[in-house]
Structure 1
Amino acid sequence: MELGGAFTIFLALCLSCLLIIIAWKRINKGGKLPPGPTPIPFLGNLLQIRTDATFQSFMKLREKYGPVFTVYMGPRPVVILCGHEAVKEALVDKADDFSGRGELASIERNFQGYGVAMANGERWKILRRFSLTILRDFGMGKRSIEERIQEEAGFLLEELRKTKGAPTEPTFFLSRTVSNVISSVVFGRRFDYEDKTFLKLLQMINGSFIEMSTPWAQLYDMYSAIMQHLPGRHNRIYYLIEELKDFIASRVKINEESLDPQNPRDFIDCFLIKMHQDKNNPHTEFNLKNLVLTTLNLFFAGTETVSSTLRYGFLLLMKHPEAEGECPYELPTW
């Protein structure tokens, strides 16, 4: 009995050592990365980064390693860019070199490399070129879209005036307005602010954005090989995005049934027409999967990122009211 117990402990130690060696090899394999603190197997640099003060931890590492450095979030290497100059050099001056998308495990099982936002290489170039062309055709960057924005801003002001100056949570006020601008392009219509389907979509978008920032999602991104087999909150984002995909797929079906190739009504119609033109090309990127996911990318990004930027902008103006005087436009009084 004692011999059996000792043998079990010996096997467990051997297995642990093997796992540590594998993790260490994965951390140190290939690629030339910027300098950074030395990681330890499995945990990486997690012990050197305070979860309650991540920004301050990174700024402290910047003092030692400069504005560009590498940290390991578990076994996952992450290159950190600190400061305006470093970000500008990477994302503006050397935009082509940094155009690739790294894998984000928490949403990779939803997208699997499809859709303009999560694609890489030639697929990304093709979908990006097509998407930009269609968005411009429907007025993005032109006077016509400005008129749509002004019209939607009028609806927003009406809703805000209904609050009669009472303290208000602005998230869904701004989300509805911003989302209707991109909806008019990708779906060919705006939604009524009280439309239940529309409100549910916005709740799912907001919810999935929140879920991406939870510790559970961060754990999934760091240890996806293990976490993908476990139940828990880290799976919630998957189901939220799948529900959004189902909505987009239902809109695609509606458009297919009433498609007029001579009169495209929206982004979905234009993609369907291109799919029909390329139907005999087995290597085309214009397929149903890329249609659904690219439309979702545009709808999600056109809703969440812009409305969040506006929300933070208003918060900054509230904190620094003196900055309002420097605003080139007169701010409305609600």
Structure 2
Amino acid sequence: MLSTEDTLEAAIRALLHFRTLLLAAVTFLFLANYLKTRRPKNYPPGPWRLPFVGNLFQLDVKQPHVVIQKFVKKYGNLTSLDFGTIPSVVITGLPLIKEAFTNTEQNFLNRPVTPLRKRVFNNNGLIMSNGQTWKEQRRFTMTTLKNFGLGKRSLEQRIQEEANYLVEAIGADKGQPFDPHFKINSAVSNIICSITFGERFEYEDSLFQELLRLLDEASCLESSMMCQLYNVFPTIIKYLPGSHQTVLRNWEKLKLFISCMMDSHQKDWNPDEPRDFIDAFLTEMAKYRDKTTTSFNKENLIYSTLDLFFAGSETTSNILRWSLLYITTNPEVQEKVHSEIDRVIGHRRQPSTGDRDAMPYTNAVIHEVLRMGNIIPLNVPREMTADSTLAGFHLPKGTTILTNLTGLHRDPKEWATPDTFNPEHFLENGQFKKRDSFLPFSMGKRACPGEQLARTELFIFFTALMQNFTFKPPVNETLSLKFRNGLTLAPVSHRICAVPRQ
């Protein structure tokens, strides 16, 4: 009997000891989290946070930028949020954005490296790199884009040629309902492919379509909750199934494709006659072959090419898809665009950028699509490189900075009808009007390096499509302006009809 009692007592003591240890461990973790994430004095205000996950569950993963507007309204133009353990500050309003990205931009130049981004890119490439790597890759990319036609007639002719292919592909549907995603994405991607790989692909090419599918899927899933949790608990989540695994696999497949393209280029590479971006990069690598501090290596060739492929495909493609949606749901706007095209260009001559100044209404429509499409609602994030002060608040080194482009482009103080598609926002006395409060390509040293290319593509593709078709919704179908959240905001899947114009 005593033996049984002793055994029971020992078991109770062991259980209490385990509970004590567990309580101590949990208390330590919460204390460590508090000390790590506590806000310093004079830090921008924000909503309450949960340990470890911060404000993650207060933000709707399907539309976080919409929820953030409510916080901004409550806490002001500098609002603090924690994405997991990542401290972030949302900057709202043109005066503060300009102050941050012009007067004190040296403190805002870095990109934050989340665990997922580190796993995929590891401070390589063009978009998410920092320091010497970013400076070298950006300078080289800008120079190379110019060498291969950016701002020149040769590249514009390439875009005009691709616009013809797109018009032909859409015309093949003969006015019947179709999903524009496939054809528009193919046309836009072919422009950056011709610059990076030196070739375009047929729209039905199975490899090309698989690449675009991988890119679209990765872009969409990176905003999923599992990817967000990966950035909070990478050592745990990396072993679990979920959307983060698909994202990582897709990026690896895309990198493998570009690696194969690089190997193919090396076989017949002539340093004196570069054919494309990859050839130019190989030439640059040869110059720095004996240096260990350069970023011109195989890894950065793959990542910078991948960055160009993503940025040159997803963003412009999404804007063009939004443009067809807004045109189709606003037939009176479409009619005015048709009239201007008929008057300035006619039915047979191809549109060119030289027509843009004579077509203020069409130009205004494209700008209004950029405003309303809002494809990068919080801009590409930046990170504080040093402690700084903004609007009297303290921003510590390492803080992630989000630019509230949604708030800027929907500010009722800046726009007459902020939530309505209205090309008149960019017109004054019938002439095109530039707006300071319009920053879809960001500003400062880390502004989009492909802005000029994107603007040229948007004008030529959009004008060519409008020149040849009248866009209408399918019979008995209502078009939706809802979006799909990802690395960019894209229209939800839809069908439209492109009726050939006589």
Same fold (TM over 0.5): yes
1:233 aligned onto 2:250: no
- Cα deviation for residue 4 of structure 1 reads 1.1
Task: Tell me: CA distance 1:152–1:86, structure 2 relative to 1, closer, same or farther (3 Å).
Answer: farther
Q: SS at the partner of 1:327?
A: helix
CA distance in 2, matches of 1:92, 1:161: 46
Greater percentage in helix = 1
Match of 2:430 in 1: none
One-letter code of the match for 1:327?
T
Q: SS at the partner of 2:81?
A: strand
Unaligned runs of at least 5 residues, structure 1: none
Q: Is residue 59–residue 82 contact of structure 1 (8 Å, CA) maintained in 2?
A: no
Match of 1:216 in 2: 226
Match of 1:187 in 2: 197
C-alpha distance after superposition, 1:93-123 (max 9, x if no partner): 7655433211132232011111111210121
Using structure 2 for the length normalisation, give the TM-score.
0.62
Match of 1:151 in 2: 161
CA distance in 1, matches of 2:30, 2:245: 27
1:119 aligned onto 2:154: no
Task: Tell me: CA distance 1:162–1:31, structure 2 relative to 1, closer, same or farther (3 Å).
Answer: farther
Task: Tell me: CA distance 1:121–1:181, structure 2 relative to 1, closer, same or farther (3 Å).
Answer: same
Alignment counterpart, residue 314 of structure 2, candidates 276, 294, 304: 304
Q: SS at the partner of 1:297?
A: helix
Q: Which has the larger radius of gyration?
A: 2
Q: Is residue 159–residue 191 contact of structure 2 (8 Å, CA) maintained in 1?
A: yes
Q: How many residues are paired up? A: 334
Task: Tell me: CA distance 1:73–1:12, structure 2 relative to 1, closer, same or farther (3 Å).
Answer: same
Q: Is residue 107–residue 237 contact of structure 1 (8 Å, CA) maintained in 2?
A: no
Match of 2:78 in 1: 68
**Higher relative contact order (Cα pairs below 8 Å, separated by 6+ residues):** 2
Alignment counterpart, residue 292 of structure 2, candidates 263, 282, 286: 282
- Cα deviation for residue 48 of structure 1 reads 4.1
Q: SS at the partner of 2:53?
A: coil
Q: Is residue 106–residue 217 contact of structure 1 (8 Å, CA) maintained in 2?
A: yes
- Cα deviation for residue 156 of structure 1 reads 0.3
1:110 aligned onto 2:145: no
- Cα deviation for residue 89 of structure 1 reads 5.1
Task: Tell me: CA distance 1:30–1:223, structure 2 relative to 1, closer, same or farther (3 Å).
Answer: farther
CA distance in 2, matches of 1:284, 1:146: 33
C-alpha distance after superposition, 1:137-168 (max 9, x if no partner): 00112222111111101000111011122222
Q: Is residue 107–residue 238 contact of structure 1 (8 Å, CA) maintained in 2?
A: no
Q: Which moved more, 1:156-165 or 1:229-238?
A: 229-238
C-alpha distance after superposition, 1:6-61 (max 9, x if no partner): 11111111111111111112212779753222323223224544556634432221
Q: Is residue 123–residue 130 contact of structure 2 (8 Å, CA) maintained in 1?
A: yes
Matches within 5 A, 1:21-60: 21-28=31-38, 33-46=43-56, 48-51=58-61, 54-60=64-70
Greater percentage in strand = 2
Task: Tell me: CA distance 1:263–1:225, structure 2 relative to 1, closer, same or farther (3 Å).
Answer: same
One-letter code of the match for 2:218?
S
Task: Tell me: CA distance 1:172–1:85, structure 2 relative to 1, closer, same or farther (3 Å).
Answer: farther
**What root-mean-square deviation, in Å, do the aligned CA atoms of Structure 1 and Structure 2 show?**
2.3
Match of 1:176 in 2: 186
C-alpha distance after superposition, 1:265-319 (max 9, x if no partner): 1111111111111111121111111111111111111111111121122222233
CA distance in 2, matches of 1:196, 1:229: 32
CA distance in 2, matches of 1:159, 1:204: 22
Match of 2:376 in 1: none
Match of 1:13 in 2: 23
Using structure 1 for the length normalisation, give the TM-score.
0.92
Match of 2:362 in 1: 327
Match of 1:100 in 2: 110
